Structure 1
């Protein structure tokens, strides 16, 4: 009898100890998981990368080894030898983030004298070369350099003239072809001041050495500006731009966004489609692509603070109704003239929006850099990436190796005359899988192809006026914070439910065993 009692006590202690060990291990796992998520949720502190010198309108790209390359428009003052006068010199500046460390800032080229805006676009091609479009005075030029030598000015090629431009955009496809857009002025007696801005397309099949003749893909009455271009995995070219206004020509008449697609490498184009809100002008039209090649377009109200998204589930052929993006407000309309959003896709097929604005209920007066994630159905709450007394503008984002999100922008200090301008960078780890970098490939031999473009294509206008569709969780999201607290709270809640459940089972089991004891 005594032996049986001793055995029962031993078994009960063994059982309780096993359950206690299991409970402690579960708590450790949950704590570790919570720590990992908190780390992933946090943006790293923004770093000013222009070394406290003038800089604006950056662009960025990631090379085949995962290194981040950034260019921007800089400037300085120099004395002319001929007459000893001081002149403003415009510069193309460059930095690289390699293995977690920033290289030195390098002046790649003198682009003009007199304080012209240096607008740039940057991509890495399949051969590992960096290709750039750079504004030299009022002209757009093509340049290139090996990715591992881009920090040396002499490694960059001679400039190739492509046209007269203010805005430009550049993309590459899986065959190494370069596709560019630029915004050029043409004479039109029907337009304001007899000048009209149009969007032109050109293509290079030899790494940027030669380019096709220009194609006007706009043919629309009114201004056209702020183009964006992306190529999907089927090598279809998707482009968007703002129609109605042209800041450079002084035309402030925003209307809607334009979307076009080419399925044959830019030889021909589908009929343009208007995207926007009936009876409400929109602008800052921004393009993102899912892995299937379905476009998501984001834009803002020209006169209000609402942001909208519009999605095509069939590659851009048909479009869903526009939906309000919840939880955010755009910056003041008076500051919208030169700003831009950016969308980038991670390896989990989520689209990341970088924008300047405010969390919906924020009392702040100076706009912030915000980050939102679209998972194919809904938007996350906004994260605050950067908040300061300085005003951010011109976001550009890219995802490196599938799971690291990079963003660059510039800041200015005065609304009226810009004041101090600087370039900033921040990054954020993502929960999506890391993707191995593809090895470099040689560019294929260029094959001349005909370039034909029908004139006067009809514009597909908006259908009957629609009220925007409010996203499902517009009123369900709590106030946003820097670290997306609502997700962390949800994670802790789930963890506590699990712990309480285990404790309940443990308690019930113990009570039942005690009830059976003699």
Structure 2
């Protein structure tokens, strides 16, 4: 039967209407290329990655080896920082660029590329966090890395660079608070360098919270505003499992002062694994999971972190089992089309699988894509990290382990995929400023803030009070003038904690 003229016009208008409807920006995406073991048959865990100005992907991770002991009678294990790069589609040789400890300390690390093209890294040496750097074209050789510079005592660390070449770091350090609510746990400290990592400012506590603080993430937007998040409540390193909520703070002046902290979470259950993404406009998106359930949530701020929308469940995914959340983390990266890419370990909602997978989802500002499986096997993945190279190439790294109880075999993996977003031309290297900016460490007219009791479904303001005195345990002992008995007591406590930490890491 032939259509009459009116029917033809109606059908044409209907088809044009369908074509005019907004289409998901991920509709024409290509697939992941396939997971590759970065260091075949070599122990490795907790990787990080960064892309340099030429598009090369640099990967570092904690590894280990054995060597003959000083007595020559037996072998002992050593902890090392390993490195490899993906340059023009080909992997360079694996290089152990630093020996970080003897036997059993987790090598936590963070990696960025500065505006001058130099690679900057934070690395955990035994229980200290230290800064090292190398030229991008020489990072594959240990001789080109600088001598490590100690910045504090820490388990977790995080690092970012701004458009001026200033470096901004976070780390957690064990502190003790005096007063009615005495507290022994880690808090979040901030330091910065304006000369490429040669010198750093004095530490600044930006937490001041009762309870543990850990799993920090830091990003800098195009306005050089510093955005940070972390998990509050637990302190894995001290064996404290008391998750509460995520914390967000922002600095608009290069880390000199900080806006009042904002609690992120939901009303009726604790949340953990708070991750941070930034749109091209500098608007933060936080992603976190239920500490005791399977929901994964997203919470967005449309005005640069001033106000936050209600958290919403991310559809199509489930978090991994709560028993495996203690050391895991999510990662977010933005492409040139202003879409945020989430890398997480979990399950598609309807999956019957018992072993979690590495999943990829895209947020376009309006909604989430269906999850893609990046990696699935009989091995258990953890700690995914994502970066977008030149605006349209997504790279991810993570590690796998084979036993829930004692980790078993641990390996580093990489996967990548092209994106439909436009390619962005590589930026040429720029020299660092010749004169370092002078900062006051803590302006006298700026108060710190302590979180208000309780948390509502949206972010809550923190009430202004004078901060408790919180300083490093050893300095606190000296400052309060404790006698010999007090010093010995603290030494005993510290020794017990150190042995407990060592046992946890070796496990």
Do they fold alike, i.e. is TM over 0.5? yes
1:282 pairs with 2:274: no
Q: CA deviation at 1:194?
A: 5.4
Which of 81, 90, 96 lines up with 2:79 in the alignment?
Answer: 90
Q: CA deviation at 1:115?
A: 1.2
1:128 pairs with 2:117: yes
Which of 59, 73, 96 lines up with 2:48 in the alignment?
Answer: 59
Task: Give the gaps of 5 or more residues in structure 2.
Answer: 1-25, 460-507
Cα contact 2:189–2:206 (8 A) shared by 1: yes
Q: Do the aligned partners of residues 119 and 362 (structure 1) sit closer, same or farther apart at CA in structure 2, a change above 3 Å counting?
A: same
**What CA distance in whole angstroms lies between the structure 1 residues aligned with 2:453 and 2:333?**
28
Match of 1:407 in 2: 396
Residues 413-468 of structure 1, C-alpha deviation per residue, up to 9 Å, x if partnerless? 0000000000000001000000001100000021222111655413367764579x
Match of 1:256 in 2: 245
Which of 417, 420, 442 lines up with 1:452 in the alignment?
Answer: 442
Q: Do the aligned partners of residues 102 and 190 (structure 1) sit closer, same or farther apart at CA in structure 2, a change above 3 Å counting?
A: farther
1:216 pairs with 2:200: no
**What CA distance in whole angstroms lies between the structure 1 residues aligned with 2:411 and 2:181?**
34
Match of 1:201 in 2: 190
**What CA distance in whole angstroms lies between the structure 1 residues aligned with 2:50 and 2:93?**
17
SS for the counterpart of 1:95 is: strand
Match of 1:24 in 2: none
SS for the counterpart of 1:41 is: coil
Task: Tell me the TM-score normalized by structure 2.
Answer: 0.83
Q: CA RMSD in A?
A: 1.8
SS for the counterpart of 1:69 is: strand
1:438 pairs with 2:430: no
Cα contact 1:191–1:221 (8 A) shared by 2: no
Which of 144, 150, 155 lines up with 1:166 in the alignment?
Answer: 155
Cα contact 2:346–2:357 (8 A) shared by 1: yes
Residues 120-139 of structure 1, C-alpha deviation per residue, up to 9 Å, x if partnerless? 00000000000000000000
1:297 pairs with 2:286: yes
**What CA distance in whole angstroms lies between the structure 1 residues aligned with 2:40 and 2:60?**
13
Q: Do the aligned partners of residues 443 and 456 (structure 1) sit closer, same or farther apart at CA in structure 2, a change above 3 Å counting?
A: closer
Which of 315, 321, 326 lines up with 2:304 in the alignment?
Answer: 315
Residues 315-356 of structure 1, C-alpha deviation per residue, up to 9 Å, x if partnerless? 000000000000000000000000000000000000000000
Q: How does 1:310-459 map to 2 (within 5 A)?
A: 310-445=299-434, 446-452=436-442, 454=446, 456-459=448-451
Greater CA deviation, 452-461 or 278-287?
A: 452-461
Residues 372-423 of structure 1, C-alpha deviation per residue, up to 9 Å, x if partnerless? 0000010000000000000000010000000000000000000000000000
Q: CA deviation at 1:206?
A: 0.4
Q: CA deviation at 1:101?
A: 0.1
Cα contact 2:311–2:457 (8 A) shared by 1: no
Q: Do the aligned partners of residues 466 and 312 (structure 1) sit closer, same or farther apart at CA in structure 2, a change above 3 Å counting?
A: closer
SS for the counterpart of 1:304 is: coil
Cα contact 2:66–2:75 (8 A) shared by 1: yes
Q: CA deviation at 1:189?
A: 5.8
Q: CA deviation at 1:195?
A: 2.1
Q: Do the aligned partners of residues 292 and 466 (structure 1) sit closer, same or farther apart at CA in structure 2, a change above 3 Å counting?
A: closer
Task: Give the gaps of 5 or more residues in structure 1.
Answer: 1-36, 468-518
**What CA distance in whole angstroms lies between the structure 2 residues aligned with 1:464 and 1:69?**
41
Cα contact 1:275–1:462 (8 A) shared by 2: no
Cα contact 1:274–1:462 (8 A) shared by 2: no
Cα contact 1:144–1:156 (8 A) shared by 2: yes
SS for the counterpart of 1:394 is: strand
Match of 1:502 in 2: none
Q: CA deviation at 1:39?
A: 8.7
Higher relative helix content: 1
Larger Rg: 1
Q: CA deviation at 1:188?
A: 3.2
**What CA distance in whole angstroms lies between the structure 1 residues aligned with 2:76 and 2:181?**
33
**What CA distance in whole angstroms lies between the structure 2 residues aligned with 1:466 and 1:132?**
35
**What CA distance in whole angstroms lies between the structure 2 residues aligned with 1:328 and 1:261?**
29
Task: Tell me the TM-score normalized by structure 1.
Answer: 0.81
SS for the counterpart of 2:237 is: coil
How many pairs align? Answer: 431
